[in-house]
Amino acid sequence: MVKKKVGVFKFTCCSGCQVEILNQAERFLELRKKLDFKYMKILKKGKIQKFDIGFIKGAISSKEEVELAKEIREKTDYLIALGSCAVLGGISAMQNFVSAKNKRKTNYTPKDKSVPVEKYVKVEYRLRGCPITGSEFLQMINDLLAGKTLRDLETPVCNECRKNNNECLIEKGEFCAGPITYAGCKAICPENNTSCIGCRGITKDANLKEWKKKMKEKGFEEKSKEVLRIFNHEP
């Protein structure tokens, strides 16, 4: 079997998603029998060449990254935004909500905003999460190699909580962004009695207005605004 040529490119972000991939250990080694990682900075850098599959992890936050993203797009058949930074703008996008006045006060120097990859280039798929889930990454690759069409899971985290028989945090009077957030994480945070903070992004059909109203009623208005900003959503 001819291996697919793969490139994994890191922009403005940490290395959490790449580490999660490597944490799959033996399963990752099995994956390398099917894929030829020509470029992956955490393993080896390599050269930007023609790729069958490309991953961009991290937000775009500079002119240099814009140009690099466009070059990768031109040379990649199937491009995937990997993780919340690439899909949403991620943690670094919190700078987008810092006023010019506050930037001056804190000697905050970056001038460019952190934005999702799709602001500048088309992607074929978005793998969500902060970081991504290793098992979900492996399943995505296997589905892709099998010729399946990849689609977003258009359901909220609440659905996974119900499957896991988790007690609803909101009904307990606690904060949770599960009703408006893309599922796929197996509700790992509520499963461990920790509030969902929306790291996978807001679903297309989320009733954001009603969720904000509910959070305000429970005294979480400011927290809800803060959580939305963390992953580059306007409060």
Distance CA 70, CA 56 (A): 11
- Phi and psi at residue 135, in whole multiples of 5°? -65, -35
Question: Contact, 3 vs 35, CB < 8 A?
Answer: yes
Distance CA 79, CA 168 (A): 36
Q: pTM for the full model?
A: 0.89
Long-range contacts, 25-31 (Cβ 8 Å, 24+): 27/134, 27/138, 28/138, 31/138, 31/141
Question: Contact, 166 vs 56, CB < 8 A?
Answer: no
Summarize the confidence of residues 110-126 as an average pLDDT: 88
Chain centroid to Cα 6, Å, comes to 19
Residue ranges of domains in the chain, CATH in brackets? 4-145 (3.40.50.700), 157-230 (no CATH)
Two structure tokens written together for 221: 């208005």
Hey, is 52 helix, strand or coil? strand
Instruction: pLDDT band for 153, please (50, 70, 90 cuts).
Output: confident
Summarize the confidence of residues 131-158 as an average pLDDT: 92
How much of the chain exceeds pLDDT 70, in percent?
91
Distance CA 100, CA 113 (A): 12
Query: What pLDDT does 25 receive?
Result: 85
